[in-house]
């Protein structure tokens, strides 16, 4: 008689449902932007932990809300869909993490609380249904557009980030959405999800993502005044983005195109941080 499958520990199941990759990338980006903004250590720590808690809430709510669709397409790699974690528990921890994220933001000022609340509300709205509409890109434009202002709003003299930084953040968010969804187009269509990338198709989505990244790179380079280091990153972003567009036009987008687009997006994030 075969052994019963081992039960996944609760903490591991919860962590797996947070979308660990994006959660860690966004948290690391908040750390880098906070250091670049010159935040005091205690402010930097609060900001990073608040962002981490917010991302945990977004990831868990996504898997809790999508449980039925994930089961329908056999996404057993997801803890909720595999039965290792109930949707109710995932949603409960998501709500608690959301409250924690805003509570940790409070000592850093009302401006950050407002910006963080709007960004998280936008992300939760995507999870709750906007992902299935032509407006699916809007939450990414809003949340990522606000993100460069998190560290500047956490300063003792709070202020919004420069418009060019917000534009770069929005471009980064658009690229993440347009490219990330491409990998799941077939599964999404099978379960009724019809967001903007589904309507545009894989090739147009990838080209639009890469073009947006170039726009973001131009905004950062022009807005920050350029410089040698800025110029190097600008050139790298444009080179990778143009290569992505050429590859996407030449043949149906595959794993290589996805990786190139994500590389261009990461280079844009680095360009934003160092300037």
Give the count of beta carbons closer than 10 Å to the beta carbon of residue 64: 22
CATH of the domain at 135: 1.10.357.140
**Residue 75: alpha-carbon gap to chain centroid:** 21
Looking at the fold, whether 169 and 155 belong to one and the same domain comes out as no
Looking at the fold, whether 120 and 178 belong to one and the same domain comes out as no
Instruction: Categorize the per-residue pLDDT at 251 as very low, low, confident or very high, splitting at 50, 70 and 90.
Output: confident
Q: Flag the least confident range among 93-97, 120-124, 126-130, 175-179.
A: 175-179
Give the count of beta carbons closer than 10 Å to the beta carbon of residue 43: 20
Q: Which of 69-73, 231-235, 250-254 has the highest mean pLDDT?
A: 231-235
The whole-number average pLDDT for the span 227-236 is 91
DSSP conformational letter for 227? -
**Domain end among 160, 177, 212:** 160
Looking at the fold, whether 7 and 90 belong to one and the same domain comes out as yes
Is the Cβ–Cβ distance between 233 and 183 less than 8 Å? no
Sorted by sequence, the CB contacts under 8 Å of residue 178 that are 6+ apart come out as 137, 196, 197, 200, 205, 206, 208, 209, 212
How does pLDDT run across 216-229, given as a tens digit for each residue?
999 999 998 878 88
Closest CA to 185 of 203, 160, 170, 171: 203
Closest CA to 140 of 14, 235, 265: 265
**Domain end among 132, 160, 188:** 160
How does pLDDT run across 141-178, given as a tens digit for each residue?
999 999 999 999 999 999 999 999 999 999 999 999 99
Counted domains in the chain: 2
CATH of the domain at 168: 1.20.120
Distance between CA 242 and CA 246 in Å, rounded? 6
Percent of the chain with pLDDT over 70: 93
Looking at the fold, whether 18 and 153 belong to one and the same domain comes out as yes
Sorted by sequence, the CB contacts under 8 Å of residue 187 that are 6+ apart come out as 73, 75
Looking at the fold, whether 126 and 9 belong to one and the same domain comes out as yes
Looking at the fold, whether 121 and 176 belong to one and the same domain comes out as no
* The pLDDT of residue 190 is above 70: no
Between residues 41 and 226, which one has the greater pLDDT? Answer: 41
Distance between CA 37 and CA 160 in Å, rounded? 12
Q: Flag the least confident range among 17-31, 190-204, 211-225.
A: 190-204
Looking at the fold, whether 150 and 178 belong to one and the same domain comes out as no
Looking at the fold, whether 182 and 270 belong to one and the same domain comes out as yes
Looking at the fold, whether 168 and 199 belong to one and the same domain comes out as yes
Helix residue spans in 8-82 (DSSP H): 10-16, 20-37, 41-65, 67-72, 79-82
Looking at the fold, whether 135 and 267 belong to one and the same domain comes out as no
- Look at residue 254 in the predicted model and tell me its pLDDT: 75
**Domain end among 108, 138, 160:** 160
Looking at the fold, whether 69 and 135 belong to one and the same domain comes out as yes
* The pLDDT of residue 36 is above 70: yes
pTM: 0.91
The whole-number average pLDDT for the span 242-250 is 91
Phi, psi for residue 38 in degrees, rounded to 5: 80, 30
Mean pLDDT of the chain: 90
Residue 21 belongs to what domain range?
1-160
- Look at residue 188 in the predicted model and tell me its pLDDT: 65
Give the count of beta carbons closer than 10 Å to the beta carbon of residue 191: 15
DSSP conformational letter for 132? G
Distance between CA 23 and CA 85 in Å, rounded? 19
Between residues 154 and 129, which one has the greater pLDDT? Answer: 154
Looking at the fold, whether 155 and 166 belong to one and the same domain comes out as no
């Amino acid at each position: 008689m075969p052994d019963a499958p081992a039960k996944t520990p609760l903490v591991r199941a919860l962590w797996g449902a947070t979308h660990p990759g994006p959660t860690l990338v966004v948290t690391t980006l908040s750390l880098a932007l906070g250091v670049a903004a010159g935040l005091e250590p205690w402010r930097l720590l609060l900001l990073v932990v608040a962002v981490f808690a917010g991302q945990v809430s977004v990831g868990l709510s996504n898997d809790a809300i999508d449980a039925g669709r994930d089961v329908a397409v056999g996404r057993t790699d997801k803890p909720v869909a595999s039965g290792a974690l109930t949707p109710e528990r995932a949603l409960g921890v998501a709500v608690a993490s959301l409250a924690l994220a805003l509570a940790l933001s409070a000592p850093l000022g009302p401006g950050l609380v407002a910006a963080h609340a709007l960004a998280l509300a936008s992300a939760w709205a995507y999870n709750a249904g906007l992902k299935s509409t032509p407006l699916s890109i809007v939450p990414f434009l809003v949340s990522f557009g606000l993100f460069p202002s998190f560290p500047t709003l956490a300063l003792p003299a709070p202020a919004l980030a420069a418009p060019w930084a917000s534009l770069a953040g929005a471009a980064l968010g658009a690229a993440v959405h347009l490219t990330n969804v491409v990998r799941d187009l077939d599964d999404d269509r099978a379960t009724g999800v019809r967001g903007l990338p589904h309507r545009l198709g894989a090739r147009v989505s990838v080209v639009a993502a890469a073009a947006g990244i170039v726009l973001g790179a131009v905004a950062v380079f022009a807005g920050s005044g350029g410089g040698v280091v800025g110029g190097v990153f600008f050139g790298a972003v444009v080179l990778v983005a143009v290569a992505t567009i050429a590859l996407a036009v030449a043949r149906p987008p595959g794993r290589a195109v996805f990786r190139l687009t994500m590389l261009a997006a990461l280079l844009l994030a680095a360009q934003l941080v160092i300037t």
